[in-house]
Chain A
């Protein structure tokens, strides 16, 4: 079924306002918390056709076909702009558990992106301010949040160094120890995105998401954004997280040896057992911007505002930075040469 959050007061369309953290009507300003919305007010229409194994949906508002793929769970009608939710994609067997709602709206995101690019040392000054092809989309990305129990036994050869002076001699005493540590730990909600479109390394770089804002899943948060259901199952993605859990377990085990001056791990036996996988949606802004014929894509953590992306580098700015660096090094080097040849400052 295709759903539209209808305003109970005026029948207009309600979208989730990230800044106010409320579901809000764009016509009459009626607003409410996501869980206060009475689902009997939803406009729900089947609007589903299946042809040659391709499922397509029509917009309940204007009847145009929605641009969807097999995973689309929320989108905006490209003809009338209505925010639509395809709840078939969120049915019982793959119902999401949790969601972190967006904290930044479109305007705030654009402002943050521009500010971030202005701060880039080599970013051209007209980048993002030039009128050009661009697209900003707020996406709820499907994630699996894994809980792990770890067990780590580690052997290491460690040393402590002590130096002291006696008479005209300096002694260095290095004491060696055979060290063994065994730790158990639990990790909660290590995230791995379950979307094929999202690059794993970028999604990892957007971390951390703060889980204090995790809410029970509610479709209302989707209204006005796009979302897709998981492309990969929890089992598919587990291989990506196990090394992370093991790495964390080894890292905290190694940290228990901090009193030593040198640590040489000789063996580590690490076990990571996944205890739970939670299906959650995390908010990500994606901004595509075309500059001098090349598309640049920026991702922003929709909760924290952390930005990942590679803006272009301006040749003239690189040159200016080089000039400043060179002048400083040359100036300092010349002074040093002068003072050295004079045998001191005075």
Chain B
């Protein structure tokens, strides 16, 4: 009883401490806007976030998306870049997005930092979503569904609407409160987990740990009469501990630090 109480008090104390930053995050307002942060670093960066290289958006559409992307970027603390491309030289749309992001030094908190890049590849007729830095973790699982949500608009040629949907979905994904919904999955898991711990407490095996092979041994009368240790053979195995990584449709890679990257390619439209 006593040990259970103490253990529980410690666990609940730790949980309480861990909950404080979560509550702060759920209630806090977004961090400093992109531009002010970036300007402090004296980086030569462009303010432009919409790059209509395939020329499928009207000027007013570009302007509207530019405004919406910047507002959302400020609200959700990540850089947001929208790209269209129509180039037969784009063999790998995924690599293209990564190079695009890194050569432009995008990133919310730092150059090549946190952000998301959505691209409509008109030549390959696929949408691409690439996440960088912390966005790779916070949005990584949502990339596929975001692209899927925009599929109908892409198929019907409403590219502005497609980007608009992507931005709205990004907003939803990064809403701190939306993560609360995931708790519903935790519920059945913790019921089962608590049940297992309870059963272990209820049916603790009654093993007499106070008696062992030495309890009744007369130490003066013990003797190791003979010992032989014959070496037979050695088997050596090796495995490569690689630092490289994949840049497939999903997955994390990069040279460490915050420059992690992941990408998803949507269905053909």
Contact = CB atoms under 8 A, between A and B. Distances in A.
Interface in B155-194: 176, 179-180, 182-183, 185-187, 189-191, 193-194
Contact of B222 (A169, A175, A183): A183
A166 B232 CA distance: 25
A181 B224 contact: yes
A252 interface: yes
B234 A174 contact: yes
A341 interface: yes
Contacts of B22: 335, 338-339
Contacts of A339: 22
Interface stretch (B89-97, B98-106, B130-138): B130-138
B216 A189 contact: yes
A137 B219 CA distance: 36
B227 A170 contact: no
Contact of B1 (A120, A165, A333): A120
Interface in B211-232: 211-218, 221-232
Given A172-B237, A341-B182, A177 B229 contact: yes
B32 to A, nearest CB: 14
B44 interface: no
A171 interface: yes
Given A207-B211, A335-B22, A337-B183, A185 B239 contact: no
B2 interface: yes
A298 interface: no
A330 interface: yes
A80 interface: no
B64 interface: no
Interface of A: 118-122, 149, 158, 165, 168-190, 204-205, 207-208, 247-249, 251-252, 255-256, 306, 308, 313, 318, 321-322, 324-326, 328-346
A interface: dominant SS:
mixed
B4 A121 contact: yes
Contacts of A308: 206
Given A174-B235, A174-B237, A184-B225, 18 more contacts: A121-B1, A121-B4, A169-B238, A169-B240, A174-B236, A175-B234, A180-B228, A181-B228, A183-B223, A187-B218, A208-B210, A313-B202, A318-B202, A330-B194, A332-B15, A342-B138, A342-B179, A346-B25
Which of B134, B135, B224 has its CB near the most chain A CB atoms (within 10 A)? B224
3 residue pairs, one from A and one from B, having the closest CB atoms: A343-B137, A186-B221, A251-B213
Contact of A190 (B176, B197, B212, B216): B216
Given A171-B237, A176-B232, A328 B8 contact: yes
Contacts of B223: 183-185
Given A207-B208, A208-B210, A328-B12, A338 B216 contact: no
B201 interface: yes
Contacts of A171: 236-238
A185 B15 contact: no
- Chain B interface residue number, banded: 35 or more
Given A165-B241, A204-B208, A183 B225 contact: yes
A187 B214 CA distance: 9
A342 B176 contact: yes
B202 A122 contact: yes
A321 B198 contact: yes
B242 interface: yes
Which of B22, B213, B217, B232 has its CB near the most chain A CB atoms (within 10 A)? B213
Contacts of A344: 134, 137
B6 interface: no
B43 interface: no
Contacts of B135: 343
Nearest to B137: A343
Contact of A180 (B183, B226, B240): B226
A338 B222 contact: no
B195 interface: yes
B192 to A, nearest CB: 9
B19 interface: yes
A237 to B, nearest CB: 15
Contacts of B226: 180-182
B222 A328 contact: no
B233 interface: yes
B244 to A, nearest CB: 10
Interface in B1-38: 1-2, 4, 8, 11-12, 15, 18-19, 21-22, 25
A119 B2 contact: yes
Contacts of A184: 221-223, 225
A170 B238 contact: yes
B206 A205 contact: yes
Contacts of B242: 168
B94 to A, nearest CB: 20
Given A165-B241, A333-B186, A318 B236 contact: no
A252 B236 contact: no
A190 B217 CA distance: 9
Nearest to A252: B213
Contacts of A118: 1
A118 B5 CA distance: 13
11 contacts: A121-B1, A122-B201, A173-B234, A175-B234, A176-B232, A177-B229, A177-B232, A181-B226, A185-B222, A207-B208, A345-B21
Nearest to A335: B18
Contacts of A158: 229
